[in-house]
Structure 1
């Protein structure tokens, strides 16, 4: 029989030490040595494991925490690997080239940022996956924007804003369902309640992108450079509007509720077929592209930079960082350190309004410490549910706060699974795109202000509170 995890209280001052050490080592490693976040996260893991061991946790319990963290990330890792293959297959199959070619011909530079944000929002709303959108439409959008002379961080920020709007508001999104499920909120009540913070956030983002786009008018474009890019694409790829059928098919499959992974695999296969039968590539090259990425020399530096990428190998940095980050988060949660930190933060919430603000900050804090978007919803969601009930707050206040503070802020943490995925997919560092991911920081600010002023903060009636208490009692009796 497996031994249960012992209930050992970790004092706040000890629980916070691994985080302080990790952040300090991270700052030195990245700022001074220009290294990667892997080692700082491992150092934080070692420190947290040592403290837990000294407090009485057995090694097998600590080790199981690390494995739990990694297991939680396995779906994300599979998506990351698949996106690597889809990028390679779609570049080799001419799909990305076709999207960039027609994008350069059709989209006005001054409206590009707003347009790509809207396109990503609509696609993600339909399919429910921001990662799938960024790994397909987003990659093409980066190529179009950069070719127009728009800075990569601006383009990435617009793609992220649109993708996370759709992810947050789609009934097909896993995080949206998770936030509603963990708090016991009706899914569509949860989505309706998010409208009040998310729609204004997207509107602000559109205004900013339209303003920024004014600096990239058609007259400021280097027509000669655009012409060279179009020529290079035509010389090296078969460009055909029929190739749009591949991304359209993937979008339709996911919209029809096919899980993201098999839908993306179909996208990989279709891109692979296009590589062989449309672009006249060899089967050997098509297979090798899925592993090592696409390789091309066109003589145009910008085209070469855009198209020499993809494949499983290109995603291994992201996979390794995800594993290391989730090891740290898993140990911190398994040993009760995250619970101790969040419980201390909860003491600051004396009113219903301050509880909502505390939840938003706690979700972002969990993103930074546990390195995983799902934990930023699960941990505060579990811990604060009773506090919301005690203050007679409707559970949809909690579910919205979890999304406002957790789902969309994960992109700002370089070692969070979302941050590393975006860096590997769009090739822009979180520090660089952060100022331009407007919706992702506008929504938490709006949510905090609305909570402080009591706007759209909904309370439960005494009758409803008693009904919930009776249901809870019946549930516990049955269990």
Structure 2
């Protein structure tokens, strides 16, 4: 009887005019909350979920069906949530173990006056890869780079563009990045498959950026460089950490495991263990401190503000903002999906996106549009990720096409929107308006264009094999029976 009741619920038609209301209201509340009140996106998403639930009940959906949709949405996010917590532990272990300090130390050594724009872009990419955060990189190394670049007479927008390109490259490609893990997790893509698939759009983007920075920087080749700030950081790192190239074996081990196709969880687990060993036995911390760092994060008072800002982070606790946001966003998406609202919205979009290429292009555009309307890069990944998941399966497109498109259109374009949280942060941190640095943030706008071109020509657009289709159908059938 209960199953018949559910079947009846599924037959309720959801008009597009009603389905779009929760999305519009969520965007409006999100814009006011973030831009005017400088709040978080959590409450606006809950408002959207409440409006979606209200509309669904008015159309005849029973509460148990709406609740089921919310729980199913959260259930889909659980693998991503678990990996995000592991990432927090990895960041804490690698900072405490001196691994991140070693990578930054040798990265800062490569700055040269004649190639400053190229150097600062590469350094920011290295640091962001090491810590998985573009914001932390821009707020520390980026601020120092702005000061050095301005002292050499390089225009501020140019320096900022190089810093932003490098920071977002590292963030996008790092297995420690929360956005990278979100994109992989909500689409059901294996983390390292997602990262490897992004190489095809992201590497051309950063190479193009470095070529442009090389030619732009030639006119400043004769400028003098004030290295005091860099030397202060190097001294602080040496005072507070054991710096050794041997510590680079830890990230290299994780990379080797990835190459050997070891799944994300055991690969990250190995990285956590090796980082913890380095923290306890190389850096000389107590076992209790090394264990507590895995949850509470690393804490340091080095006497250098930049070092403190960069290294006081990590641990499971540091990831709770992202975890709670993923749960709430997937609750909203789950209700929208279960009540047919996402189907109605995507149905209108798919009238214009009939081919695989146009679907991927629509995903990239939707992620950017969400950045511009919802003003939050996490939402630009989470909502389009749920919207297009079924459309990709219907066209037998591998989920890593979807996860890559979300990052190509969502993660890196957030820096180009002045009212987005990322644009606001960069303006406050680097003191350059997004409209001023946008022409020089070459990777941030070239990657979406590369992604769209690749989609239409069909290069590196991967389809599911028959075996994968059958496995996916069997998995979804099992989930339906469980629900």
Q: Same fold (TM over 0.5)?
A: yes
Q: What is the distance in 1 between the residues matched to 2:47 and 2:117?
A: 46
Say whether residues 1:59 and 2:67 are aligned partners. Answer: no
| Pair 319,152 (structure 1): closer, same or farther in 2 beyond 3 Å | farther
Q: TM-score, normalised by structure 1?
A: 0.71
Q: What is the distance in 2 between the residues matched to 1:313 and 1:177?
A: 19
Q: What is the aligned partner in structure 1 of residue 286 from structure 2?
A: 282
Say whether residues 1:158 and 2:166 are aligned partners. Answer: yes
Q: What is the aligned partner in structure 1 of residue 237 from structure 2?
A: 233
Say whether residues 1:406 and 2:413 are aligned partners. Answer: no
| Pair 292,119 (structure 1): closer, same or farther in 2 beyond 3 Å | closer
Aligned counterpart for 1:40 among listed residues 34, 44, 51: 44
Aligned counterpart for 2:209 among listed residues 205, 222, 227: 205
Superposed, 1:142-221 pairs within 5 Å as: 147-149=144-146, 154-155=162-163, 157-161=165-169, 164=172, 201-210=205-214, 219=223, 221=225
How much has 1:297 moved relative to structure 2?
A: 1.1
Say whether residues 1:95 and 2:95 are aligned partners. Answer: no
Aligned counterpart for 2:346 among listed residues 342, 347, 352: 342
| Pair 191,292 (structure 1): closer, same or farther in 2 beyond 3 Å | closer
Contact 1:80 1:315 in 2 (8 A): yes
| Pair 230,33 (structure 1): closer, same or farther in 2 beyond 3 Å | same
SS for the counterpart of 1:21 is helix
Q: What is the distance in 1 between the residues matched to 2:327 and 2:217?
A: 38
Say whether residues 1:30 and 2:34 are aligned partners. Answer: yes
| Pair 447,148 (structure 1): closer, same or farther in 2 beyond 3 Å | closer
Say whether residues 1:254 and 2:262 are aligned partners. Answer: no
| Pair 107,379 (structure 1): closer, same or farther in 2 beyond 3 Å | farther
Aligned length: 418
Q: What is the distance in 2 between the residues matched to 1:107 and 1:444?
A: 29
| Pair 237,360 (structure 1): closer, same or farther in 2 beyond 3 Å | closer
Aligned counterpart for 1:267 among listed residues 250, 271, 288: 271
How much has 1:134 moved relative to structure 2?
A: 6.0
| Pair 371,450 (structure 1): closer, same or farther in 2 beyond 3 Å | closer
Aligned counterpart for 2:118 among listed residues 101, 104, 111: 111
Q: TM-score, normalised by structure 2?
A: 0.70
Contact 1:134 1:160 in 2 (8 A): no
| Pair 77,107 (structure 1): closer, same or farther in 2 beyond 3 Å | farther
| Pair 411,114 (structure 1): closer, same or farther in 2 beyond 3 Å | same
Aligned counterpart for 1:81 among listed residues 79, 85, 88: 85
Say whether residues 1:379 and 2:390 are aligned partners. Answer: yes
How much has 1:243 moved relative to structure 2?
A: 0.9
SS for the counterpart of 1:280 is coil
Contact 2:94 2:100 in 1 (8 A): yes
Say whether residues 1:295 and 2:292 are aligned partners. Answer: no
How much has 1:156 moved relative to structure 2?
A: 5.0
SS for the counterpart of 1:371 is helix
| Pair 404,137 (structure 1): closer, same or farther in 2 beyond 3 Å | closer
Q: What is the distance in 2 between the residues matched to 1:282 and 1:148?
A: 35
Contact 1:329 1:369 in 2 (8 A): no
State the Cα deviation string for residues 454-473 of structure 1 (Å, max 9, x = none): 75699xxxxxxxxx9xx99x
SS for the counterpart of 2:109 is helix
How much has 1:251 moved relative to structure 2?
A: 1.1
Q: What is the aligned partner in structure 1 of residue 374 from structure 2?
A: none
Q: What is the distance in 2 between the residues matched to 1:139 and 1:356?
A: 27
How much has 1:314 moved relative to structure 2?
A: 1.3
Q: What is the aligned partner in structure 1 of residue 417 from structure 2?
A: none
How much has 1:33 moved relative to structure 2?
A: 0.8
SS for the counterpart of 1:345 is helix
Contact 2:187 2:385 in 1 (8 A): no
Q: What is the aligned partner in structure 2 of residue 312 from structure 1?
A: 316
| Pair 319,214 (structure 1): closer, same or farther in 2 beyond 3 Å | farther
Q: What is the distance in 1 between the residues matched to 2:384 and 2:70?
A: 17
State the Cα deviation string for residues 182-228 of structure 1 (Å, max 9, x = none): xxxxx9xx979x96x77754543334554676699795543112121
Q: What is the aligned partner in structure 1 of residue 153 from structure 2?
A: none
SS for the counterpart of 1:68 is helix
Q: What is the distance in 2 between the residues matched to 1:358 and 1:140?
A: 31
Contact 1:85 1:311 in 2 (8 A): yes
State the Cα deviation string for residues 321-342 of structure 1 (Å, max 9, x = none): 1111111111111111111011
How much has 1:14 moved relative to structure 2?
A: 0.4
How much has 1:180 moved relative to structure 2?
A: 12
Once superposed, what is the RMSD of the aligned Cα atoms? 4.7
